[in-house]
Amino acid sequence: MERKRQKSKKVASNLSRRNFVRLSTLGAASTLLPINLSAVVNIREPLQIGLIADVHKDIMHDADERLQEFLGEVNKRNLDFIIQMGDFCIPHQRNKDFLEIWNNHQGDKYHILGNHDTDGGFTKDQARAFWNMTANYYSFDKKGVHFIVLDGNDANPKPWSGYNRYIGKEQREWLKEDLKNTDKPTIVFSHQTLELEEGGITNLKDVQKILESANKEAGFQKVLVCLSGHHHTDFLTQINGIYYVQINSASYRWVGDDYKKLRYSKEIDEKFEWIKYTIPYKDPLFTFMKIEEHGITIEPRKTEFVGPGPKALNMRKSHPHDPIVPMISKFEMKI
């Protein structure tokens, strides 16, 4: 009995010594780090980011109030930046006041181009000029983390009908170079998802390959997570080590002609003719993302539908990949 106990004690002390040796090498030679640990080491200072997606000023009568509520919450926090994830507002004079609300926010703020931001025949250049956005796609660093914003509205190869949802060759080459030139843990934003072909970026496999190759070449998990809006749903998945999160809309879920319903006054309906094709969310949805040493967390937020929801409308049960829900889940991603 006694001997046995001694033996196991020895094994334990050997193990802890081995752990100690491994840990002490981490600081000395960071280039030799095994997968996953390097990114963990690089995030020394936690970051907090405000996210709002698909406000749709041109559909919602109360988009201004929704944006104001988001910024009110933003002002209570000490954030590193905020980002609107597309389908914000078209570059029309009538949207000046709405944009002013955003522009009046003093902290760092970024835009993502959505497919509806050029509705009514506007160009991407016009939308960018209106928002004071300098490039369709770009990247920046904050506290040792690299952020990439993609433009998912490049022209799809012909024949194609409907809204563009594509990352063109030039942008893909730029993405490869941009990833090559950073050794920081990286977070990617796009309006349309990079993980579901239905409604998402049609050549998402090409883009995933670029991200995965960058991780392989780096020898550590460089690209941690990709975030998108556009689909007005609440979803998290992981593909080959990279997390993909869909951030729900601030305003509503589109349900179309089959389920259209008047939910506001006649006056509102006359002025905002598209609301009846949606199930609006009572309060605006938005979220705050925390990036810390061991993980990334999306803060939950929940509201309710205005009027009948999908169940009361007898809609087919929504796909688990595409739930119709008035909420943003608490998503926790280990890194």
The distance of closest approach from Cβ of residue 292 to Zn ion in the complex, given in angstroms and rounded to an integer, is 30
Tokens of 261: 């319903």
Name which of residues 238 to 257 contact Zn ion (CB under 5 A). none
Residue among 250, 305, 308 nearest 280 (CA): 305
The distance of closest approach from Cβ of residue 87 to Zn ion in the complex, given in angstroms and rounded to an integer, is 4
Using CB under 5 A as the binding rule, whether residue 115 contacts Zn ion is answered as yes
The distance of closest approach from Cβ of residue 152 to Zn ion in the complex, given in angstroms and rounded to an integer, is 9
- Residue located via tokens 């931001």: 117
Q: How many CA atoms lie within 13 A of 13 on its CB side?
A: 5
Burial 179-205 (b: 16+ CB within 10 A, else e): beebebbbbbbbbbbbbbeeebbbbbe
Among 50, 91, 114, 152, binds Zn ion (CB under 5 A): 114
- When CB distances to Zn ion are compared, the closest residue is 230
Q: How many CA atoms lie within 13 A of 99 on its CB side?
A: 21
The distance of closest approach from Cβ of residue 315 to Zn ion in the complex, given in angstroms and rounded to an integer, is 20
Using CB under 5 A as the binding rule, whether residue 274 contacts Zn ion is answered as no
Q: Please, which residue, 68 or 115, has the CB nearer to Zn ion?
A: 115
User: Cα–Cα distance between 35 and 215 in angstroms, integer?
Assistant: 9
Question: What are phi and psi for residue 43, nearest 5 degrees?
Answer: -85, 95
Q: Please, which residue, 220 or 286, has the CB nearer to Zn ion?
A: 286
Using CB under 5 A as the binding rule, whether residue 284 contacts Zn ion is answered as no
Name which of residues 85 to 104 contact Zn ion (CB under 5 A). 87
The distance of closest approach from Cβ of residue 67 to Zn ion in the complex, given in angstroms and rounded to an integer, is 17
Q: Give the total of residues touching Zn ion (CB under 5 A).
A: 4
Q: Please, which residue, 91 or 114, has the CB nearer to Zn ion?
A: 114
Among 57, 128, 230, 253, binds Zn ion (CB under 5 A): 230
User: Cα–Cα distance between 228 and 151 in angstroms, integer?
Assistant: 11
Tokens of 334: 């280990």
Q: How many CA atoms lie within 13 A of 257 on its CB side?
A: 0
DSSP tag of 274 = T
Q: Please, which residue, 40 or 207, has the CB nearer to Zn ion?
A: 207
Q: Please, which residue, 207 or 296, has the CB nearer to Zn ion?
A: 207
Q: Which residues bind Zn ion (CB under 5 A)?
A: 87, 114-115, 230
